[in-house]
Amino acid sequence: MVVAAIVILCGIVLAFAMSRRSRLRQLSDESRDRYSRSWHGVETQFIDDPSAAVREADRIVVRMLGERGATLRDERSVPEDLRRARAAASSDEGRQGTEGMRKAMVRYKRMVEDGIGSPSSARKTSRREVA
C-alpha cells in the first residue's frame, strides 16, 4: 500500500514538473511583431545564404524562448524541435548540401509560429496602416 502511494505521488510530481516546464509565457504584441519581421528576413536570407540563415534562425528562436520564460541551461531543457533543428543543420545533409538546413528551417519555423501565433495573425500584426 505504501509503495503504491509513493509511486502515485512520484507520478503526480513528475506530471507537475513536466507541465511547468512546457508552460511558456505569451509574447507581447510588440515582440510578436519583431519576431515576425525577423523571421521573414531569415526566410528571405535562406535563398542566398542558407547556412547564415540557419544560424540566425537559431539565435531568433533561442531569444524568443528566453523571452517566453524557457530555461535552456542543459540538454534536457532544450525543446525537442530545437534539438532536431540543430541536428539537421549539423548532419551530413546540412554540411554538404541544403536539405539538412531546409529541415532545420522547418523546425525553427514551427517554433517561431508557436511563439508568434499562426502565420495569418503574424501578418496582421506586422502590417502598419498608412495614413
Among candidates 95, 94, 71, 75, which has minimal Cα distance to 22? Answer: 71
CA distance readout (Å), 47 to 43, 51, 101, 105, 112? 7, 10, 11, 12, 19
Provide the pLDDT for residue 77. Answer: 85
* Contact status, residue 53 vs residue 105, Cβ threshold 8 Å: yes
> What single letter denotes the amino acid at residue 52?
A
Among candidates 48, 85, 51, which has minimal Cα distance to 65? Answer: 85
The tens digit of pLDDT for each residue in 45-92 reads 999 999 999 999 999 999 999 999 988 888 888 899 999 999 999 988
The tens digit of pLDDT for each residue in 101-114 reads 999 999 999 999 99
- Report domain extents, the chain: 27-126
